């Protein structure tokens, strides 16, 4: 049912897969609930493969056009994703339009996902704008999170039911992956220092593994690692216990299928972390590194929310370069224990209201 709201969502692309991925899922969730959405983005190229068919109700607009907002009909709701600093011309148009129609305008700063305690304290707080073109308006800070006191996680209706209908064998065949019963592991990463240690561990394991490597930085990192290993010792994988499948760029829907098909998922950033959680499979998260090491605290807070066992915590610390040693050695995989952790975390999060439902209610309450 349409609510009459027009949402303007602004996103500057820092990581093509992360920021734009979250914003597109938010747009899709709003459109599926009958809302009208405009996504203003400075680089929409990733959507060509992430969501090639687009969606009814979602219009993608170049960021540059927002600086000529005098001729635009601005929306009822403005979302500034991840502090992207919307063009002052657009803010001025919002303020002018709000005064002209005497209707309250909702301006939301959508923050990054975190499990840290400050999220509950800060979620939903208003911040009156005192200066600049938006003077007189109020900005609200909206924090996604893992508890009922936060803004929740992105989760479309019917996601878990869709997973129950997924056929792994069919999906692997469609992607020409020669599955022979080995352990399947997806790899979506930056350039972890422990990557070579992971490859070495899998090659020397008693169970055969196949690494399904995503396009882009993960593929480049694996290729560089293999080139180095082959220079040192070409027989490093002499028992052929480790094989590789390199994937093309895939849609958001197909990325879910990849996660569902695998026995272990390596994910990075924010969007793939949430999708891995909903997949209910063991996963390891490579958190976005910050120069002041603030990501260390953020990672520990997440592991605490997950009630991660010691083996999973130790693996995360080495994978993220937090537990420094002279020689990087990854702890052993403990997939049965990690599987139980993943299912319990998914069950816990599924009891909470999803982000899109919460944010639409938030707008209704504050208008």
What's the pLDDT score for residue 70? 64
β-pair partners for 80: 10, 109
**What is the pLDDT averaged over residues 115-135?**
95
Query: In 140-175, which positions are buried (b, 16+ CB within 10 angstroms) versus exposed (e)?
Result: bbbbbbbeeebbbbbbeeeeeeeeeeeeeeebbeeb
Can you read off the two tokens belonging to residue 225?
Answer: 């690692």
d(CA 248, CA 260): 17
What's the pLDDT score for residue 294? 77
Instruction: Give percent of the chain above pLDDT 70.
Output: 95
Torsion angle of C-alpha atoms 331, 334, 337, 338, degrees rounded to 10:
80
Place of tokens 């995503």: 214
**What is the pLDDT averaged over residues 130-151?**
95
**What is the pLDDT averaged over residues 286-315?**
91
What sign has the CA pseudo-torsion 334, 220, 191, 303?
A: negative
Instruction: Give percent of the chain above pLDDT 90.
Output: 83
d(CA 315, CA 321): 10
What's the pLDDT score for residue 1? 43
CA angle, residues 288, 144, 305, in degrees to nearest 5: 75
3-state secondary structure the chain: CCCCCEEEEEECCCCCCCHHHHHHHHHHHHHHCCCEEEEEECCCCCHHHHCCCCCCCEEEEEHHHHHHHHHCCCCCEEEEECCCCCCHHHHHHHHHHHHHHCCCCEEEEECCCCCCCHHHHHCCCEEECCCCCCCCCEEEEECCCCCCCCCCCCCCCCHHHHHHCCCHHHHHHHCCCCCCCCEEEEECCCCCCCHHHHHHHHHCCCCCEEEEECCCHHHHHHHHHHHHHHHHCCCCCCCCCEEEEECCCCCHHHHHHHHHHCCEEEEECCHHHHHHHHHCCCEEEECCCCCCCHHHHHHHHHHHHCCCCHHHHHHHHHHCCCCCCCCCCCCCCCHHHHHHHHHHHHHHHHCCCCHHHHHHHHHHHHC
Of the listed ranges 93-102, 157-166, 246-255, the one predicted with least confidence: 93-102
User: What does pLDDT average to over the chain?
Assistant: 93
Active-site annotation, residues: 19, 270
Place of tokens 């996601």: 159
Of the listed ranges 23-32, 36-45, 205-214, 318-327, the one predicted with least confidence: 318-327
- Residue 100: pLDDT over 80: no
Q: Tens digit of pLDDT for each residue in 302-361?
A: 999 999 999 999 999 999 998 665 567 899 999 999 999 999 999 999 999 999 999 999
Q: CB of 301 within 8 A of CB of 273?
A: no
Of the listed ranges 2-11, 31-40, 186-195, the one predicted with least confidence: 2-11
Q: Tens digit of pLDDT for each residue in 178-234?
A: 999 999 999 999 999 999 999 999 999 999 999 999 999 999 999 999 999 999 888
What's the pLDDT score for residue 234? 87
**What is the pLDDT averaged over residues 71-82?**
89
Residues 6+ apart with CB under 8 A from 101: none
> Model confidence at 15, in pLDDT bands (50, 70, 90)?
confident
């Amino acid at each position: 049912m349409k609510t009459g709201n027009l949402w303007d969502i602004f996103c500057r692309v820092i990581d093509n897969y992360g920021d734009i991925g979250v914003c597109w899922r938010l747009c899709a969730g709003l459109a599926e609930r009958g809302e009208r959405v405009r996504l203003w983005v400075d680089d929409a190229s990733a959507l060509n493969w992430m969501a090639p068919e687009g969606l009814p109700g979602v219009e993608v607009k170049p960021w540059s056009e927002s600086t000529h907002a005098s001729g635009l009909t601005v929306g009822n709701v403005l979302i500034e994703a991840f502090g992207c600093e919307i063009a002052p011309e657009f803010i001025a148009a919002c303020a002018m339009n709000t005064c002209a129609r005497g209707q309250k305008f909702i301006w939301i700063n959508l923050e990054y996902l975190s499990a840290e305690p400050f999220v509950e304290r800060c979620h939903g707080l208003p911040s009156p704008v005192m200066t600049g073109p938006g003077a007189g308006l109020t900005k609200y800070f909206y924090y996604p999170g893992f508890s009922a006191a936060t803004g929740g996680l992105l989760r479309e209706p019917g996601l878990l039911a869709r997973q129950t209908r997924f056929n792994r064998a069919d999906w692997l065949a469609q992607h020409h992956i020669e599955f022979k019963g080995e352990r399947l592991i997806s790899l979506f990463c930056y350039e972890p220092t422990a990557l070579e240690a992971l490859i070495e561990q899998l090659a020397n394991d008693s169970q055969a593994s196949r690494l399904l490597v995503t396009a882009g930085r993960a593929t480049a990192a694996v290729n560089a690692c293999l080139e180095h290993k082959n220079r040192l010792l070409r027989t490093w994988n002499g028992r052929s216990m480790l094989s590789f499948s390199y994937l093309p760029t895939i849609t958001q829907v197909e990325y879910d299928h990849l996660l569902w098909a695998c026995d272990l998922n390596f994910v990075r950033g924010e969007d793939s972390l949430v999708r891995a959680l909903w997949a209910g499979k063991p996963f390891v998260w490579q958190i976005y590194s910050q120069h002041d090491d603030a990501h260390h605290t953020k990672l520990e807070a997440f592991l605490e929310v997950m009630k991660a066992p010691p083996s999973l915590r130790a693996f995360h610390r080495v994978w993220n370069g937090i537990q420094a040693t002279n020689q990087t050695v990854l702890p052993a995989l403990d997939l049965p224990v990690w599987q139980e952790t993943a299912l319990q975390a998914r069950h816990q999060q599924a009891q909470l209201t999803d982000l899109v439902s919460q944010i639409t209610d938030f707008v209704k309450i504050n208008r």
